[in-house]
Amino acid sequence: MSAATSSLEMYPVHQVPLTRPFIWLAQGWDDLLHHRGASLAYGALASGMGALILAYDRNPIYVACAVVAFLFIGPIVTAGLCELSRARDHGEESNFQSSLLALRVNRRNLLPFAEVLGVMALTWFVGAAGLLYLQSGSFSPSVTATVGGDVLRHLSEVQIFVYGLTLASLAVIVFAFSVVTVPMIIERHVDAKSAIRMSLRVVRLNFVAMVVWAGLICGLVMVGFATGLLAMVVIFPLLGHATWCAYRDLVEGH
């Protein structure tokens, strides 16, 4: 196993056309079919985590907690999918169990990245709640008021705007931090800070392609939630494998 390094100069960023994200999805689909059982197992795990958001969608506090938890666990699950794709690219045998071994090997760098996303999300929501409390003396409807559903009826226009803006801005930052971070940790064993810096470089140098890629991710995730997370069993592993394909093009230059 190669030694970890934090020198970004060793990894030049390759520029890709704006249509390239569609190729990543096609390649990711091929990887999913190749590792059908293991990929769908990860997809089922991600779908189960996402179900927490739907189960507690009656109060913004529960949604915030679920999002923070998902951002903490999500990179770990993505790493397993990237390991499956990495092993295939290198002609190695791989399965669900072997991908878990890779998580253990890289946990020292993966966990700090997951912590960065989780803490960032928590800080974002606490900041939004504090702003609402200072503005109106309340940051959320009471749990008892929303237990019967129809949470939007109990949210003020200001609360809807602030929480919506919080989720949107958080999604943009998480995307920018995550474009190639997990696969780079898996392949090059770099520390989380260096991988995040590389991801930000990739976004800066391929901004138009990244906008297309982010739009595809958002669209597929919306389909996943629109189907009650049933489609997420396939969509999550598809995106995980495609993330590896994106890294391979943008950093490895294969």
DSSP string, the chain: -PPP---GGGSPPPP--TTHHHHHHHHHHHHHHHTHHHHHHHHHHHHHHHHHHHHTTTSHHHHHHHHHHHHHHHHHHHHHHHHHHHHHHTT----HHHHHHHHHHTHHHHHHHHHHHHHHHHHHHHHHHHHHHHHHS-SS--HHHHTTS-HHHHS-HHHHHHHHHHHHHHHHHHHHHHSSHHHHHHHH---HHHHHHHHHHHHHHTHHHHHHHHHHHHHHHHHHHHTTTTTHHHHHHHHHHHHHHHHIIIII--
pLDDT at 62: 62
User: Is residue 1 included in any domain, yes or no?
Assistant: no
pLDDT at 171: 84
User: Is residue 224 included in any domain, yes or no?
Assistant: yes
pLDDT at 157: 72
pLDDT in tens, the chain (254 residues): 444 444 566 678 999 999 999 999 999 999 999 999 999 999 998 888 777 666 655 556 666 666 666 766 778 889 999 999 999 999 998 999 999 888 888 989 998 998 888 888 778 777 767 766 666 555 555 545 444 455 555 566 776 777 778 778 888 898 999 999 999 999 999 999 999 999 999 999 999 999 999 999 989 988 988 888 899 999 999 999 999 999 999 997 65
User: Is residue 209 included in any domain, yes or no?
Assistant: yes
Question: What are the tens digits of pLDDT across the range 204-243?
Answer: 999 999 999 999 998 998 898 888 889 999 999 999 999 9
Task: Please state the domain count of the chain.
Answer: 1
User: Is residue 20 included in any domain, yes or no?
Assistant: no
User: Is residue 194 included in any domain, yes or no?
Assistant: yes
User: Is residue 49 included in any domain, yes or no?
Assistant: yes
The domain in which residue 83 lies consists of 26-252
User: Is residue 12 included in any domain, yes or no?
Assistant: no
User: Is residue 238 included in any domain, yes or no?
Assistant: yes
pLDDT at 17: 97
